[in-house]
Amino acid sequence: MDLGNWSFDINFSGSTVVTVFISGKTLVCANVGDSRAILGSLKSTQEAEMIKPTQGEFQIESIACKADNDLYWVATTLSIDHKPDRKDEFEWILVSNGRVDPFREPDGQPIGPARVWLKEENIPGLAMSWSMGDWVASSVGVIPEPEFFELELNRDDKFIVIASDGIWEFIDNNKCV
């Protein structure tokens, strides 16, 4: 569907989306932007001791907290946040003739997260590097197509959390609440 043919303004109308589809034991996660999905699993002490988080890679398993005598809650990322200050995202925006910089006070002091801007204008100011439907941001490299991840579920997998960045900026994947 070509959004450019609709009667409403899509210049600054982008959105983030994360969705999870399960068929049998196969889980597929599609993600655009900085919403996030995680899988919560209960693992034995022996399984938990083998987990070695590696930053920057997909499906990072990390111990969230002890659940019971011989069990630990483990969080597995199902999506990757698309943030403009991530090295690969930053470089892509620059190559696409965009600019990555936080919002700035009149005196030049930075405020808040890195944002995507047009090279010579302070628009759109998007705090993510992938977005569905934002026409102006897509002109400087913001990607509208989802990134897909797939994994096989097993008996240890207990729940999925799907939430927007407004939740994840206050709750860490790896902490018990």
| Local structure of residue 22 (DSSP, 8 states) | E
Same domain, 76 and 45: yes
Number of domains the chain contains: 2
Q: Both 97 and 124 in a single domain? A: yes
67 shares a domain with 28:
yes
Beta bridge mates, 151 = 27
Rounded to two decimals, the pTM is 0.81
Task: Please tell me whether residues 31 and 117 are part of one structural domain.
Answer: no
How do residues 69-109 score in pLDDT, each as one tens digit?
A: 788 888 888 998 899 999 999 999 999 999 999 999 999 99
Band of residue 1 on the pLDDT scale cut at 50, 70, 90: very low
Of the listed ranges 49-58, 83-92, 138-147, 150-159, the one predicted with least confidence: 49-58
DSSP per residue, 31-60: EESS-EEEEEEEEEHHHHHT----TTSSS-
Whether residues 91 and 153 fall in one domain: no
Q: What is the mean pLDDT of the chain?
A: 85
Query: What domain range includes position 110?
Result: 87-138
For residues 73 and 92, state if they share a domain.
Answer: no
Determine, yes or no, domain membership for 175: no
